Amino acid sequence: MTERRHRHHLIPKHMGGTDDEENLTPPISIQLHAEFHRQLYEEFGKTEDLIAWKALSGRITSEEARLEAAKAGQDRSEKYKNRDLTDHLNRIRTKESASKGGVAAAPALVKWIQENKEIHAENARKAARKNAEKRKIPHEYNGVVYVSKKELQQATGLSICGFYGKLKRGEIIRLIKEQEEVDF
């Protein structure tokens, strides 16, 4: 039996990394992938890396990782709800800025976004549409199969917390097996 292998993002997506070939490692073992995320967590303290490390090393299941990520997202939205947008944009790490220690490109990025709001908004919409197809995972709820989590939530009026609560209790069932490659 062949060992499953992953490709690790050198600059994680949550830190502004992309799926470009130059940002991906050659296929590596799951244990090594987990170790990379542990080291990133110890260095930068990002919750996303902690969750990835725990999931990849088998300390938590993929569903528990999704729940932890949803909780972390809620915590972040509460923390940043009243924050000034410019301050937040100054903290964005692009591929270029991450490779230069996180300082070089951020002011230029903030300026560009402020000057090109329409282009930035359209780029964000395109990226969201592109990624939406990847996230379509069929789920069954009350005997009805929904194409995606989003479709199920819209049809039933479930909140994110309600969805994950029912998923955890087994009231909602995922209809496909885990993907061979994990994308963090």
Measured in degrees and rounded to the nearest 5, phi and psi for residue 183 equal -110, 110
Domain end: 16, 49, 71, which one?
71
Q: What is the band of 33 on the pLDDT scale with cuts at 50, 70, 90?
A: confident
Judge whether 77 lies within some domain: no
Judge whether 182 lies within some domain: no
For 110-125, give one letter per residue: b (16+ CB within 10 A) or e. beebeeeeeeeeeeee
Whether 3 and 28 map to the same domain: the answer is yes
**Which residue, 136, 165, 168, is CA-closest to 152?**
136
Judge whether 80 lies within some domain: no
Over 60: is that where the pLDDT of 178 sits? no
Q: Which residues are within 8 A (CB) of 28 and not within 5 positions of it... i.e. 6 or more apart? A: 5, 6, 7, 8, 36
Q: What is the pLDDT of residues 117-155, one digit of tens each?
A: 788 778 777 777 776 666 678 889 999 998 888 888 889
Whether 157 and 125 map to the same domain: the answer is no
How many domains does the structure of the chain reveal? Answer: 3
Range of the domain at 139: 135-174
- Crossing angle of helices 160-168 and 62-80, in 10° steps, is 160
Whether 139 and 128 map to the same domain: the answer is no
- 3-state DSSP call for residue 3? coil
Whether 141 and 167 map to the same domain: the answer is yes
Judge whether 111 lies within some domain: yes
Whether 23 and 43 map to the same domain: the answer is yes
Whether 2 and 59 map to the same domain: the answer is yes
Determine what percent of the chain is predicted with pLDDT higher than 70: 72
Whether 104 and 122 map to the same domain: the answer is yes
Which residue's structure tokens are 């939205």?
Answer: 77
For the question of whether the overall pTM of this predicted structure is more than 0.85, the answer is no
Q: How far apart are CA 38 and CA 56, in angstroms?
A: 10
Q: How far apart are CA 152 and CA 144, in angstroms?
A: 9
Q: What is the pLDDT of residues 51-94, one digit of tens each?
A: 999 999 999 998 899 999 888 887 777 666 655 555 555 555 55
Whether 123 and 103 map to the same domain: the answer is yes
Domain end: 71, 99, 115, which one?
71
Judge whether 183 lies within some domain: no
Which residue's structure tokens are 């490659």?
Answer: 181
Judge whether 161 lies within some domain: yes
